[in-house]
Amino acid sequence: MVVKILTLFPQMFTGMLNESIIKRAIEDKKIDIDCIQIRDYASNKHKKVDDYPYGGGAGMVMTPQPLFDAHEHALSSLNNTKTEDKNKNDQIGECKKNSIRTIYMTPKGKVFNQDLATELSKESSLIFICGHYEGVDQRVIDTLVTDEISIGDYVLTGGEIPAMVVIDATARLIPGVVSNEESIVDESHSNNLLEYPQYTRPQEFRGMGVPGILLSGHHKNIEEWRKNKSLEITKNRRPDLV
């Protein structure tokens, strides 16, 4: 999967890209993640990327020009063709035709969940737009964006952390990214249930033991215990999932 991230703060992604499972997935060429600095595409002298909202009101709105140009660059690098030579309407049409999903991270979007992560993990490429200030000009959304996604009912300072959440949850579902595929099958949300409790050594720690059934070696009973625990935890914490 190839991921292009349009952002004003590419450095926010350095931690994510250089640690742990995502770092290994990049090294193993399972995923390629490229940050595109929106400001580099601003055509005005001062590289300004925001302006006052028409109609008044608080805050600033990200202007369309740098976003359209940065998106065009992302598309042409994904299509690996000389799209610079074509006119802009062709490129927008091509985006829709090729159905390269362009995701705008916004608290107004559809709330992200495991099903959506699974759906996105099947795409060969994704483009993310990270907004700041009071958001982006609506014409960007109307023309370029295929999906508006929120990571929850709260407001963050920008779309970078939400994009990282979506990319992380999606990337780990790409075959081969998480080495033990079993851990994806059993985990929370994989079948609309929260995961059962896990224990490891030592068998006794500060006076606390481990449920005897897990030490019994009786696989069928262990499976049943885990299923019951999953159901119990889900009913208690997330009755909406049951």
Binding site for ligand ADE (CB under 6 A): 105-107, 150-152, 154-156, 159, 162
Smallest gap from residue 24 Cβ to ligand ADE (A): 26
In the complex with ligand ADE, the residue whose CB is nearer, 103 or 193, is 103
Select 72 or 147, whichever has its Cβ closest to ligand ADE.
147
- Structural tokens at position 159: 């779309």
Classify residue 111 as exposed, middle or buried by CB count within 10 Å of its CB (0-12, 13-18, 19+): exposed
Q: Considering the complex, what minimum distance in angstroms separates the CB of residue 33 from ligand ADE?
A: 18
Q: Where does residue 34 fall: left (phi above 0), alpha (psi -120 to 50 degrees), or beta otherwise?
A: beta
Number of H helices, E strands in the chain: 9, 7
Rounded CA separation 84/34 (Å): 19
Q: How far is the CB of 167 from ligand ADE (least distance, A)?
A: 13
- C-alpha to C-alpha distances, 11 to 24, 32, 239, nearest whole angstrom: 19, 16, 39
The distance of closest approach from Cβ of residue 114 to ligand ADE in the complex, given in angstroms and rounded to an integer, is 16
Contact residues for 55 (Cβ-Cβ < 8 A; gap 6+): none
Task: Decide whether 134 or 186 has the Cβ nearer to ligand ADE.
Answer: 134
* Closest distance to ligand ADE from the beta carbon of 110 (Å): 10
User: Distance (Å, rounded) from C-alpha 16 to C-alpha 32?
Assistant: 13
Instruction: Between 84 and 153, name the residue whose CB sits nearer to ligand ADE.
Output: 153
Nearest residue to ligand ADE, scored by beta-carbon proximity: 162
Residue 54 or 154 having the CB closest to ligand ADE: 154
